[in-house]
Chains A and B, each alone.
Chain A
Amino acid sequence: MAKYDVIVIGGGSTGTAVARDCAMRGLKILLLERDDIASATTGACAGMISSGLKYMDEPNIVDMCSDEVVNFKRIARHVMEKNPIITPLLEMSDISSGGNFAEEYSKRAETRDVPPVLFLTPEDSLKIEPTLNPDLIASIYFEEYFISPFALCMLQALDAKQHGADIKTYCEVTDILTKKGSITGLQYFNRITDKMESAKTKAIVNAAGPWAHKIAALAGAKLELRLNKGAHVILDRRVVNVGVIAKAIEGRMIYLFPHENTVLLGTTALDTWEDPDTLVASQDEIEYLLKSMEWVIPSIRDARIIRTMEGVRPLIPTWKIPEGDVTRGYEIIDHEPEGVSGLISFTGGKLVMCRHMAETATDLVCKNLGMESECKTHNEPLPGNSDDVDILALAKEYGVSQHTVERMRARRGSETATILELTCDHPEWKTTICTCEPVIEAELRYAIRATFPQTLNDLRRRVRLGTGPCQGTFCTFKAAAILAEELELSGEDFQLEIVDFLAERWKGKRQSIRGEQIAQEELAQGIYACVGNLDQALEELDYDLKPWEEVL
């Protein structure tokens, strides 16, 4: 049986960060993820690595966030972008929390390489963002950094792998083994091999996010979480020049953030007891977001909604206060005092803190294992961060559009040249497979070979396949064929990949379907049902209903 110093459960931002930190300190690591890297909470966030703007009354957290932004700029600048943000004020009461925020933000601005908070006149505000409600009385301007959550997790996992870690996706932990109150190992079901497997270890880090309490329970430990659902509405393009933050109908703050090629409108916050796998955004959530943003961007409903996206926050269990008042700090719980030695769990936290959380947890693991070591994760770059990428030169050299090369760079950084080099032997791999993003065949082949996707949905998280306005209408069958060739899938599995991918896309498209997106869906149904006849193939294909699907 395989033996590890530490087993990490969960492949989100925290789990992959812990695996990376442990592996860099020389520990033998296994990371188990029951689905794919960044396929749950992390994959549903907007990617803002916030300076802590919502938590200005927790100065130590603001300090930490600010420092972490600087760290990310050092190790992952290629998957980051800086976005200007405007908070328009329509009435004096909108300003209530403005003063303290401006002061706290500006104090730490210089270290993050952003200007201090500015107060803009209505004229200047409208010059920057013409879609704003012209009745605004002023606006607050500041800048925040964003990171691609998928890319961050993937790069952390790849880096951990390069440092010797074993990363296993589609492996769901089914039992944690203990002897006399100490962890001895665990069992997991490998959904790829369809087999139960087990591994030995004395230390487990539980980074299972909204499932952390269930993992703890497998070891007989207690863990409480306050699960809170957040939903986004995704618009088809950059309908605003800058990020916009506004007060929602009940006074919470919501945002409209540029995100890759799209814009995210979010979020809602609803305490939830549902299985996170079954959740979809509700009609009420969609309308809440549109209605709230409409005050400051009156034309928001003219934008084409492509889908919704939802996730569950694993908040620290503080009760009888609104979600917004729960600390965004994190807690690391060592279950040793309750008689489960070797298990530590996370609650709370934010994307921006994931590296910090991993450092603290790894320090604790090392202490428990009786070893001394130093954290290096904030200094050593993630893969692809080494050099600048000359987009214009590469586009010219390989005869690929600048737009394509730039989008590739935003995912792979300095690996872009390596990917493009594949087209020397295979010029046909310059073919654009996903036109919305865009993604060329060479990048798909590279991602399949280098980043262990098991499904087409995994490939979507790697390269943003099928995430644009057409939502996979034109790329699903093309990309599925490439995946099937690379992984040597059967004809049946090739068709299942198509159907599974469309099922996942439909989950988000369905809730907000309206306007042009209905025509888009009619076209998708025309291709895959009417012509492809795949609607009639489900039974023959052994299709498993997804958690959010209901029997007709």
Chain B
Amino acid sequence: MVNFDTLEEWQKQTSLLLQARPTTTRISTKYNIPNLEAPRYNAAKKRKRDTEGKDGDAAPAPAVSRATFTLKTFDPVSGVTLKFKTDKSADVGRMVAGLGRAGGIMAALPEKAEGMLYNRLEAQGSGVDHSIAPDVAMEDAAASTGTTLAEASKDTSQAAPTEGKPAAPAAAKKKKKGKK
């Protein structure tokens, strides 16, 4: 499976795949709004609350439902999967235009009209902004520092009373074995 960063790259590879296997290749589009009440979105939050012991901290967490729009080209015969995913509404028009172009190849329409559509798409694609990444990184950093701090404090408090026990030498021996 291949995930593409740009719609243009997805479009290019999809066209090539469609030209090679026009009958078996299918293109799926998924518009998904995540369910924030589902267990997978709440597991991490609960753990945090336990370690901190404060209900007030977890409550104002930004529970913004972020929808995604995914394009997937799949050919069951060769097993090729090409994917492109976005969360920007500005991309939707361009993506459906891409679906239209792919539809032209599927229907075996003459090349002329397709070429025109592709050129227009390329011209539009030059103004894409890739500004999601820094935001996500920031969020991750904030979340991880919070948990690691809590864990660190827990570790020190646990380590203090057990220091006198012979657990430490055993651990050291194990490490040596690993090195050999």
A in complex with B = no
Using CB atoms and an 8 Å cutoff, list the residues of chain B in contact with chain A. Answer: none
Q: Which positions in A face B, CB cutoff 8 Å?
A: none
